[in-house]
Homo-oligomer: A and B are copies of this chain.
Amino acid sequence: MVTIDDVARAAGVSTSTVSYALSGRRPISPATRERVAAAIAELGYHPHAGARALASSRSSVLALVAPLRSDINVPVIMEFVTAVVTAAREHSYDVLLLTKDEGTAGLQRVAGGAMVDALIVMDVESDDARVPALLKLRQPSVLIGLPSEPTGLTCVDLDFEATARACVEHLAGRGHRRIALVGPAPGVYQRGTSYANRFLTGFTAAVGALGADVVAEPCDPSRAGVRDCLDRIGPDVTGLVVHNEAALMPLLDLLRVDGRRVPEDVSVVAVCPRDAVPPLPVRLTTAEIPAHEVGTLAVTMAMRLLDSPVATPPETRLLPPVIVERDSVSPI
């Protein structure tokens, strides 16, 4: 292996000079800088990450905890992951991928072993066992999601409550009064998944403000599950808010089978990321899930926590909803 000493020798300088030439943490004369750069290129030198981490107590690695096997939206997860990895690389960080399955132990392992400088945690539940564990770590963390007790933690997410409200108001503004929510799979609620509950809260409040009955049903995304969900909702709604991407396809198909046209008989607003709108016959009006923005922002916030010489005050950022009007909503 080529070491920093090899480079120093080849360039005719000391190891510290090579180190400083690399980090830029002290001035180096152009001539020296150039000789060092040449030696590095010639020898194909790559600093040893472990040695660097040991000496500097910084690993330049971010942990990303993702729900890798679950009933929640796969494309959305991929978009988060992509955004985080890409943004991290722009800050010269690498990403260590952990599964949610590892739970608290995984966080402690990678943080305790100083493998990572900061953690980004997706799919946070309202009352998440990992939250107290994160607060005890030496490394800062950023949550994608919003636990019920976020004190002391930095969080970022779409404002799902406002998003639900925006969906309802979009329909209400076009005359709809009988509006139902087709929610995520039952398991998502049972786990206390933060975003599902926040969406439901916003939906309930918005429909209540309209003085209408609140109809909200979880929905298993199988064809049978969607059939069942539609039956529970009943035949007389005119507006459907669908917070379940996987259910969209069977849902639209079953509406067709039932002879209910979209948007003539039923208007539909779907919650899903721009890039994952299913290629259905009707172009869906959606509330966007800005997964890319959220992921990028999570990295930015993590970098701020790492940069700040003193403790940065924890902050929660909820992105405002964006409704993209397409063809699945019509006035009543």
A interface residue numbers (CB < 8 A to B): 1, 44, 46-54, 59, 61, 64, 68-69, 74-75, 77-78, 81-82, 85-86, 89, 94-99, 101-102, 108-110, 112-115, 138, 221-223, 226, 246, 249-250, 253, 278-281
* B49-A279 in contact (CB<8A): no
How distant is the Cα of A115 from the Cα of B60 in the complex, in angstroms?
Answer: 11
How distant is the Cα of A101 from the Cα of B82 in the complex, in angstroms?
Answer: 11
* B113-A47 in contact (CB<8A): yes
* B48-A114 in contact (CB<8A): yes
Give the chain B neighbours of A75 by CB distance below 8 A. 74
CB distance from A128 to the nearest CB of B (A): 20
Give the chain B neighbours of A281 by CB distance below 8 A. 223, 253
* A46-B113 in contact (CB<8A): yes
Give the chain B neighbours of A54 by CB distance below 8 A. 48, 50-51, 54
Give the chain B neighbours of A82 by CB distance below 8 A. 68-69, 99
User: How many copies of this kind of chain does the complex include?
Assistant: 2
* B113-A86 in contact (CB<8A): no
CB distance from A209 to the nearest CB of B (A): 34
* B97-A115 in contact (CB<8A): no
Give the chain B neighbours of A279 by CB distance below 8 A. 221-223, 226, 246, 249-250
Q: Which residue of B lies closest to A51 (CB)?
A: B54
Known: A50-B52, A50-B59, A278-B249. A96 touches B95 (CB 8 A): yes
Give the chain B neighbours of A249 by CB distance below 8 A. 249, 278-280
Known: A64-B97, A279-B249. A114 touches B53 (CB 8 A): no
Give the chain B neighbours of A86 by CB distance below 8 A. 68, 99, 101
How distant is the Cα of A82 from the Cα of B68 in the complex, in angstroms?
Answer: 6
* B85-A97 in contact (CB<8A): yes
Partner of A81, one of B1, B53, B97: B97
Of the A-B pairs whose beta carbons lie under 8 Å apart in the complex, a sample of 7, sorted by A's number, is A46-B113, A46-B114, A50-B53, A89-B102, A94-B98, A223-B280, A249-B279
